[in-house]
Amino acid sequence: MHDHGPQLLDVSGGKPIKLWTRGVPVEDAARRQLLNTARMPFIFKHLAVMPDVHLGKGSTIGSVIPTLGAIIPAAVGVDIGCGMVAARTSLTACDLPDDLHRLRSAIERAVPHGKSFGKRDRGAWDQVPAATDAAWRALAGRFRAICAKHPRLEKSNHRVHLGTLGGGNHFIELCLDEADRVWLMLHSGSRGVGNAIGNLFIELAQADMRQHLANLPDKDLAYFEEGSRHFADYLEAVGWAQDYARQNRALMLQAVIAATRQVLGRPFEAQLEAVDCHHNYVQRERHFGREVLVTRKGAVSAQHGQLGIIPGSMGTRSYIVRGLGNAEAFCSCSHGAGRVMSRSQAKQRFDLADQLRATAHVECRKDKDVIDEIPMAYKDIDAVMAAQRDLVEVVHSLRQLVCVKG
């Protein structure tokens, strides 16, 4: 029997599940969620499960959910368009200073992150760079049209959060590849406005299905049928949030490049190889001869030849990959290593000494507030990569030197 490729799980009363999880743990609660999702009546062909799979809201993170004529807002989630951007620079390791703390501090000043919004978080738009203002103007017209139908969204942090990192597992890194070339990489999404859009439409789906909720295995599997009142509105709003997320990453990457140039005091090329990919999103795609809606909840598109980013954890490797276009996986791959424990479990199990040891080689925050992001809270990235070697090939292997956490 071959030692890679998907494991097949037949589902009574539902579509099969194909799992690329050989050699990596899958928690029982995640398996139950997969079975629930596979039994939804509009699943197309099968579910595809990536090796970083773990418990999520309604559906597991690390799953690819193809649907016909319906969409599950909670499967897309509330960090709509969350994803990664990475760019190779013309710098090499020998161009960097021995002390990287000044570089980390400059990046932290250049990109609002975590709780450090200051005046911007209180809506002082005069604090926003001109590039951010221009980016917002390009997005604003479509957003006003969405708000005309859903006025609640006007109160979200839409303008204020553009060009900001956020918290949790969002990060900015400076890395070296296998040839000691410097890469800049970051992970973020659609911030407050994506959260507001996600939560609004999850509530609307549950309200529309009030009389059917008792029949659902999980209320977070509430869905809109194509042609229903909110289906088109949701696709419009989610598409806009995905564009916002991509623009958000582009603005931050420019700020990181500028901060790095300032600290090093020298020019350098910064877009020699550039990769940008969502990993929480939905879009129409063609698979097995049909046009379907593909929801990637913690998964990356890996069409043949398409570049993607699979980050490890704070202190481990990340990978730039090229898709192999595996049709069975709906041309997808994992979006990272995937958690093996919750944030609260990580904080209970590990202490600051563990965090210091695990990140000794990285210039990063080393305090109790980031223990939930300790590398041991994640699956082994090498095992995750081995489990999906028929989905992607590795183009570059990156190791962190600097990590900024939100």
- Here the tokens at position 351 are 């202490």
Task: Give the span between the Cα atoms of 232 and 210, in whole angstroms.
Answer: 20
* Residue 153 near residue 204, CB atoms below 8 Å: no
Check 279, 335, 361, 396 and give the catalytic one.
335
Task: Give the span between the Cα atoms of 299 and 279, in whole angstroms.
Answer: 5
Task: Give the span between the Cα atoms of 396 and 319, in whole angstroms.
Answer: 6
- Here the tokens at position 310 are 């699979």
**Catalytic: 54?**
no
Q: What are the backbone angles phi and psi of residue 237, rounded to the nearest 5°?
A: -70, -40
Q: What are the backbone angles phi and psi of residue 24, rounded to the nearest 5°?
A: -125, 145
* Residue 91 near residue 257, CB atoms below 8 Å: no
* Residue 111 near residue 165, CB atoms below 8 Å: yes
List the catalytic residues.
Answer: 335
